[in-house]
Chain A
Amino acid sequence: GDSVTQMEGPVTLSEEAFLTINCTYTATGYPSLFWYVQYPGEGLQLLLKATKADDKGSNKGFEATYRKETTSFHLEKGSVQVSDSAVYFCALSDPMDSGGYQKVTFGTGTKLQVIP
């Protein structure tokens, strides 16, 4: 079955530092890839997505590129802020693995803490 592997956290960075959170995946077909963000005590919010190889998703200064050759979708941001402190989930949706319905497979999440 499909799977998503994220780097272990927590990740602690100083404000304005460069962020990379690694994500790799295995999938049967051609999945769509997502990054979700979860602030403390809240549900998940979609941060960005990419639906095919070489697509770049971007939002709020975050970016991730769908790399089929390395089966990766690493999240990056050039300059993090304290308000970016949250848990980040990489996820994929692969209809080929789920009989046609939109099953989403999530990684275990990476906690980011940004200190002033």
Chain B
Amino acid sequence: DGGITQSPKYLFRKEGQNVTLSCEQNLNHDAMYWYRQDPGQGLRLIYYSQIVNDFQKGDIAEGYSVSREKKESFPLTVTSAQKNPTAFYLCASSRDESYEQYFGPGTRLTVT
């Protein structure tokens, strides 16, 4: 079955540590996205990538970094510079400009 996988589902880190969230898709989609979801705020775009080896900042990129070395993979690193990293992180992909986004199951990150 095609889809998007995110791992792990729950992640706990100490403040000051970097952490990398995994996102893999086997839908052969060109575009991939990372969103952050906080209660009552909907989804906010962190980074997006339209093709391999290229990515762009979204609305709240500060304190985050990404890479896109393979079409299937778009990992997100939450760095120690992110002031409030505890949140639910969602990865998505889409085929191209005119198609809807498909979402992974999410990773809930808790930093203490």
Which residues of A are in contact with B by a Cβ distance under 8 Å? 32, 34, 36, 41-46, 49, 51, 89, 93, 95, 100-104, 106-109
Contacts of B99 in A (CB 8 A): 102
A-binding residues in B (CB < 8 A): 4, 6, 31, 40-43, 45, 48, 50, 56, 90, 92, 94, 96-106, 108
Q: Given the complex, which residues of B lie within 8 Å of A107, measured CB to CB?
A: 42
Given that A108-B40, A108-B41, A108-B42 are known contacts, is A43 also in contact with B98, CB under 8 Å in the complex? no
A102 touches B40 (CB 8 A): no
CA distance A12 to B98 in the complex (A): 34
Contact assessment for A43 and B48 in the assembled complex, using a CB-CB cutoff below 8 Å: no
The residues of B that contact A109 with a CB separation of less than 8 Å are 42
Q: B101 touches which one: A42, A100, A102, A108 (CB < 8 A)? A: A102
Other 14 A-B pairs with CB < 8 A, given A43-B103, A44-B92? A32-B98, A41-B108, A43-B4, A43-B105, A43-B106, A44-B43, A44-B103, A49-B100, A102-B31, A102-B96, A102-B98, A102-B99, A102-B101, A108-B41
Q: Which residues of A contact B108 (CB under 8 A)?
A: 41
Determine how close the nearest CB of chain A comes to the CB of B6; give it in whole angstroms.
8
Let me know if B106 and A100 touch, CB within 8 A: no
Q: Is the CB of B97 within 8 A of A89?
A: no
Would you give 25 A-B contacts (Cβ < 8 Å), ordered by A?
A32-B98, A32-B100, A34-B100, A36-B103, A42-B106, A43-B4, A43-B92, A43-B103, A43-B104, A43-B105, A43-B106, A44-B43, A46-B102, A89-B42, A95-B97, A100-B97, A101-B97, A102-B96, A102-B99, A102-B101, A103-B45, A104-B101, A106-B43, A108-B40, A108-B41
